[in-house]
Amino acid sequence: METYYVNGFFKRRNSAKISVEDRGFNFSDGVYELISYLDEKLIFFEKHYSRLSKSLLSLKISSPLSNKKILKLIIKRLIKLNKIKSGYIYIQITRGTAKRNHVYSQQIPPNLVIFCLPLRKIEKFKRGVKVRTSEDLRWGRCDVKSISLLPNILEKQIAFNQGYYETWQTKDNYITEGTTSNAFIVDRNGSIRTYPKSKHILGGVTRDVIIQIAKKKSIKIIEKAFTLNDVKYCKEAFLTSTTVKILPVIKVNDMKINTMKIGEITKILTYNINKKING
């Protein structure tokens, strides 16, 4: 049976509980982080911890842990208890438990839940995935990794129902990002294009690592929004996330990318991020 960490205690799944007055449950008043790990080694932990801290600061939620060393110890203990050598760590922090009221007290202690998830099987996606596009209906602070994910969930489900892997969202005709991933293209000049870091996208950890790799390989990176017309004439496309790292995109709506073959730049980036992760 799975073991969860809840507010200072390691508990079996059936006894791992949070009050129905938790503000995360009532208002989506909280943040989360997902960290992958391989053979019990946390991947890009420092970057994930930094993003978690920024999300908490943005929502003015106090951290339930005094430092990252304590968090790492808890995670390592969870991995051992669950006997899942490779997988994902899910961390959720809400503002806390209180009577339902939009106005909250600054004195509420936050609620913290951490648990393990097994690795997703993504082998079939490595040959390339298809994505659709839809209007971006999310709130105005997408840079905060909030647990309020309803627009993402609805669009991801539509994609699944229609036989697509993902939905890329558009704002003012520009593609911002996917419901669970960041979006990239390689333009006609061989430059990588992706939406710039701003309040309109979540600054993905894997996104940032891919950009670093590209720069080291002297591949030009342009953090500039692109349109569906840019997609129509691009050489390659791919997406990134913590769960899948990098996947080639071979079709967007009805547009075939690179005759539905994996591009050379995508192959280079895939090889190098796997090398970085595996040490």
- Closest by CA position to 177, among listed 249, 124, 279, 107: 249
Amino acid (1-letter code) at residue 209: V
Residue 167 near residue 133, CB atoms below 8 Å: yes
Q: Is 145 a catalytic residue?
A: yes
127 vs 57: CA distance, rounded Å:
39
Structure tokens at 273: 């991020």
Which candidate in 130, 145, 156, 245 is catalytic? 145
5 vs 3: CA distance, rounded Å:
7
| Beta strands across the sheet bearing 41-42 | 9-12, 3-6, 111-118, 87-94, 30-38, 41-42
Burial 65-95 (b: 16+ CB within 10 A, else e): beebeebeebbeebbeebebeebbbebbbbb
**Tally of CB atoms within 10 A around 141:** 14
Structure tokens at 183: 């979006």
Q: DSSP letter at 77?
A: H
> Which DSSP helix (H) or strand (E) runs through 69?
helix 68-82
Active site residues: 145
